[in-house]
């Protein structure tokens, strides 16, 4: 069904989940992708950073946040004491929307069960939403990022904060510092 092994829901590890869903064609993005971008990092991480969807670089390399936004993210993470390889990084959508347009509701509905399964397997202590899509998806709200930022939410017992997307901070330099401060706060929530 949909070209995906329906037993993915019982996956016990990230590797098993990835193997079972990487040929997904539940939505049209599955037929346009170069690579399915599952996620990267430490499967035992206490923190998971979630972005929106793969961009062109991510689609080509099969890894999240490897383009310009990813370089900024790495730099900011390092600035507050997180190493990219000790945390876990993924996106709401695993396949690139054409021209990097916003994810559509139907695509989020199709793909977000995979994100939720990743979170169930990793069981982090903290989720950091980069931009509005991850927090809106998990909390099932349409509230703006401005109204969501600065609060600590709980999603199934896991703390969650929302901050600016690094790509947005590249376009609007004034958001870089608050993004860095939010990442520092994430560090403080954990340690
Ligand atoms: N933007 C995202 O939201 N995710 C990526 O992986 C890259 C850019």
Residue 177 Cα to ligand 1 midpoint, Å, equals 19
pLDDT tier for residue 1 given thresholds of 50, 70 and 90? very low
Write down the residue that tokens 């989020």 correspond to: 108
Domain count for the chain, please give it: 1
In a domain, 117, yes or no: yes
In a domain, 2, yes or no: no
In a domain, 181, yes or no: yes
Please state the atom number of ligand 1 nearest to the C-alpha of residue 91: 4
ipTM: 0.94
Q: In this predicted model, what pLDDT tens digit does every residue of 35-46 receive, in sequence order?
A: 999 999 999 999
In a domain, 175, yes or no: yes
In a domain, 163, yes or no: yes
In a domain, 31, yes or no: yes
Res 6: pLDDT: 80
Q: Note down the domain range covering 89.
A: 7-190
103 lines ligand 1 (CB under 6 A): no
Residue 91 Cα to ligand 1 midpoint, Å, equals 7
In a domain, 23, yes or no: yes
Please state the atom number of ligand 1 nearest to the C-alpha of residue 131: 3
Residues 79/115, Cβ–Cβ less than 8 Å: no
In a domain, 98, yes or no: yes
Dihedral sign computed on CA atoms, order 155, 191, 77, 149? positive
Write the CATH number for 148: 3.40.470.10
């Amino acid at each position: 069904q949909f070209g995906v092994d329906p037993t993915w829901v019982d996956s016990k590890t990230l590797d098993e989940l990835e193997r079972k869903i990487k040929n997904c064609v539940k939505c049209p993005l599955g037929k346009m992708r170069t690579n399915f971008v599952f996620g990267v990092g430490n499967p035992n991480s206490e923190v998971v950073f979630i972005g929106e969807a793969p961009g062109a670089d991510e689609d080509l390399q099969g890894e999240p946040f490897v383009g310009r936004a990813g370089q900024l993210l790495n730099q900011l993470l390092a600035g507050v004491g997180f190493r990219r390889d000790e945390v876990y990084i993924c996106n709401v959508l695993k396949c690139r929307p054409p021209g990097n347009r916003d994810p559509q509701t139907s695509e989020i509905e199709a793909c977000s069960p995979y994100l939720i399964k990743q979170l169930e397997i990793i069981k982090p202590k903290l989720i950091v939403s980069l931009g509005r899509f991850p927090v809106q998806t998990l909390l099932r709200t349409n509230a703006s990022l401005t109204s969501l930022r600065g609060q600590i939410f709980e999603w199934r017992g896991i703390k969650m904060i929302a901050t600016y997307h690094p790509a947005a901070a590249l376009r609007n330099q004034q958001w870089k510092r608050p993004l860095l401060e939010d990442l520092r706060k994430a560090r403080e929530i954990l340690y």
